[in-house]
Amino acid sequence: MADNILLDKVGLRLGGQHFRFDGSLPGGAITAITGPSGAGKSTLLNLLAGFEIPDQGRVLMGGTDVSGAHPSQRPVSLVFQDNNLFAHLDVFTNVALGIHPSLKLREADRQVVLQALQRVGLDGFAKRMPGTLSGGEKQRAAFARALVRQKPVLLLDEPFAALDPGLGISMAKLLLELHRETANTVIIVTHDPQEVARLADYAVFVESGAITLQAPAAEFLARQDLPALTAFLSG
Ligand X SMILES: Nc1ncnc2c1ncn2[C@@H]1O[C@H](COP(=O)(O)OP(=O)(O)OP(=O)(O)O)[C@@H](O)[C@H]1O
Contact with ligand X (CB under 6 A) among 20, 25, 27, 43: 43
Q: How far is the CB of 98 from ligand X (least distance, A)?
A: 25
Cα separation, 135 vs 138, in Å, equals 5
Contact with ligand X (CB under 6 A) among 20, 41, 74, 145: 41
The values of phi and psi at residue 200, to 5°, are -90, 145
Q: How distant is the alpha carbon of residue 32 from its chain centre?
A: 9
Q: Is residue 138 a contact residue for ligand X (CB under 6 A)?
A: no
Q: In terms of CB distance, is 41 or 198 closer to ligand X?
A: 41
Q: Is residue 42 a contact residue for ligand X (CB under 6 A)?
A: yes
Contact with ligand X (CB under 6 A) among 9, 14, 132, 177: 14
Site for ligand X in 189-228 (CB under 6 A): none
Contact with ligand X (CB under 6 A) among 35, 50, 136, 159: 35
Q: How many residues bind ligand X (CB under 6 A)?
A: 11
Q: How distant is the alpha carbon of residue 53 from its chain centre?
A: 18
Residue type, 23: G
Q: Are 93 and 100 in contact, with CB atoms under 8 Å apart?
A: no
Q: Is residue 39 a contact residue for ligand X (CB under 6 A)?
A: yes
Q: How far is the CB of 84 from ligand X (least distance, A)?
A: 17
Binding segment toward ligand X, per CB under 6 A, in 32-40, 64-72, 136-144, 176-184: 32-40
